[in-house]
Structure 1
Amino acid sequence: MKLVVKGVGLTVTPSIRRYVGEKIVEPVAKLLGRDPAYAAAVLELELIRDTRHHRKGIVWSAAANCKLPQKQLWQRADAEDIHAAIDGLADILKRDITKVKERSRSRLLRGARRAKKDLHLSRAARLYREGRIRDESI
């Protein structure tokens, strides 16, 4: 997995880079696993200070653009502290990556079940019908 960390309105210090690696990069790498399909994934992070005018309030943001083979995910989290924004983004990103992986796995298994079902029936016996089956005797 390729990682790009960019700071907008702030400098990315080694401590922030370590925190991002601990909270976002390691869990995302663990979720993607060693699957060769996800080896080319790219994770671009932007740490943003929205304004210099305000000293309090929600002025910190963390945005992530995760390019997976099936889909591109973009998320943003805002908070009063850069660490809180990174934590919020980590939760959102983990949830979305899990959702994408579960969807692809369930579609694969659904196709496998359909193929197995088709193998056990003769061609003439296969009947795919939509809607309800009505009693033909009436």
Structure 2
Amino acid sequence: MRIETFGKGVEVTPAMQEYVDTKLQRIHKHFDQHCEIRVTLELRKNEHHADASANIPGQTLHAEAEGENIYAAIDVLADKLDRLVVKHKEKRQQHAPGVPISDNGV
């Protein structure tokens, strides 16, 4: 898994980078294949904002979060992204490739 972290109006310190990497590592356990996550940290009118786009097999997932500090925003972002990944994985398992989906229940 590859995680890129960028700052918009915020300098991304090594501590922030390590915190993002640590929090987002749990997403990797959901996939055997390579995935790439791009995280942007920014300060908007005294609100700390974090957003992420995850390129996973079959789709790109996007999550945004705000917090009272940048670490709180990263925590919320990691939780949201993890839920999105789990939901995506469950949806893919329900509709296995090659199995036709019928509207009439047959």
TM-score range, shorter chain: 0.7 to 0.9
Q: Quote the sequence identity (%).
A: 31
The aligned residue for residue 51 of structure 2 is 63
Instruction: Report the aligned-residue RMSD.
Output: 2.1
Counterpart position of 1:102 = 90
State the one-letter code of the partner of 1:76.
Answer: E
TM-score by length of 1: 0.67
- Cα drift, residue 43 of structure 1: 0.4
Higher helix share: 1
Is 1:82 aligned to residue 70 of structure 2?
A: yes
Q: Work out the CA distance in 1 between the residues paired with 2:9 and 2:48.
A: 10
**Deviations, residues 90-117 of structure 1 (Å, cap 9, x unaligned):** 1100000001111111111892xx7xxx
Q: Is the 8 A contact 2:3 2:21 kept in 1?
A: no
3-state SS in 1 of match to 2:39: strand
The residue aligned with 2:28 is 29
Please tell me whether Structure 1 or Structure 2 has the larger radius of gyration of its CA atoms: 1
Amino acid at match of 2:29: K
- Distance in structure 2 (CA, Å) of the matches to 1:2 and 1:97: 16
Equivalent pair of 2:43/2:49 in contact (CA under 8 Å): yes
- Distance in 2, matches of 1:71 and 1:29, equals 15
With the length of structure 2 as denominator, give the TM-score of the two structures. Answer: 0.86
How many angstroms does 1:42 deviate by? 1.5
Moved over 4 A (4+): none
State the alpha-carbon separation in 2 of the partners of residues 8 and 71 from structure 1.
25
Gaps of 5+ in 1: 115-127, 132-138
The structure with the largest strand share of the pair is 2
